[in-house]
Structure 1
Amino acid sequence: MKADPQAQRRLLDLQALDTSLAQLAHKRKTLPEYAEVDRLARELSALEDERVRVQVGVDDLDRDIARLEKDIDQVRVRAAKDQQRLDDGAGPARQIEALQHELATLARRQGELEDTELELMEQRESAQGALNEVEQRLATLREKRAELERSRDEALSQIGREEEFRRSGRAPLAGDLPEDLVRLYERSREQTGLGAALLRAGRCGACRLDLNASELNRVKAAPADEVIRCEECGSIMVRTEESGL
Structure 2
Amino acid sequence: MKADPKVQRRLLDLQAIDTALAQLAHRRRSLPERAELEALARELSALEDERVRAQVAVDDLDRDIARLEKDVDQVRARKSKDEARLAAGSGPARELEALQHELVSLNRRQSDLEDAELELMEQRETAQGVLDGIERRMAEARDRRAATEQRRDDSLAEIGKEEEFKRSARQPLVGDLPADLVGLYDKIREDTGLGAALLTAGRCGGCRLELSGADLARIRKADPDDVVRCEECRRIMVRTNESGL
User: Once structures 1 and 2 are overlaid, which stretch shifts more, 235-244 or 123-132?
Assistant: 235-244
User: Once structures 1 and 2 are overlaid, which stretch shifts more, 72-81 or 220-229?
Assistant: 220-229
Shift of 1:241: 2.2
- 2:133 matched to 1:133? yes
Alignment map for 1:209-220 (pairs within 5 Å): 209-220=209-220
Secondary structure of 1:243 counterpart: coil
Alignment map for 1:193-208 (pairs within 5 Å): 193-208=193-208
**Which AA in structure 2 matches 1:126?**
T
Alignment map for 1:93-242 (pairs within 5 Å): 93-242=93-242
Secondary structure of 2:211 counterpart: coil
Shift of 1:85: 1.7
**Which AA in structure 2 matches 1:27?**
R
Shift of 1:223: 2.2
1:34-92 CA deviation, whole Å, 9 max, x = no partner? 22212221221122111111111110100110111111111111111211222222223
1:81-140 CA deviation, whole Å, 9 max, x = no partner? 211222222223222212211111110010000010011011111111111111111111
**Partner residue of 1:53?**
53
In structure 2, distance between residues paired with 1:188 and 1:121:
74
Secondary structure of 1:2 counterpart: coil
Shift of 1:220: 2.2
Secondary structure of 1:225 counterpart: coil
Gaps of 5+ in 1: none
Q: Percent identity?
A: 68
Secondary structure of 1:242 counterpart: coil
TM-score, normalised by the number of residues in structure 1: 0.95
1:171-227 CA deviation, whole Å, 9 max, x = no partner? 000100111211121122123221110111111100101111121122223222221
In structure 2, distance between residues paired with 1:179 and 1:106:
101
- 2:63 matched to 1:63? yes
User: Once structures 1 and 2 are overlaid, which stretch shifts more, 70-79 or 87-96?
Assistant: 87-96
**Which AA in structure 2 matches 1:137?**
R
**Which AA in structure 1 matches 2:58?**
V
**Partner residue of 1:90?**
90
In structure 2, distance between residues paired with 1:191 and 1:40:
37
Gaps of 5+ in 2: none
**Which AA in structure 1 matches 2:97?**
E
TM-score, normalised by the number of residues in structure 2: 0.95
Secondary structure of 2:198 counterpart: strand
Secondary structure of 1:81 counterpart: helix
**Which AA in structure 2 matches 1:87?**
A
Secondary structure of 2:3 counterpart: coil
**Which AA in structure 1 matches 2:199?**
L
Secondary structure of 2:242 counterpart: helix
In structure 2, distance between residues paired with 1:184 and 1:83:
105
Secondary structure of 2:64 counterpart: helix
User: Once structures 1 and 2 are overlaid, which stretch shifts more, 80-89 or 161-170?
Assistant: 80-89
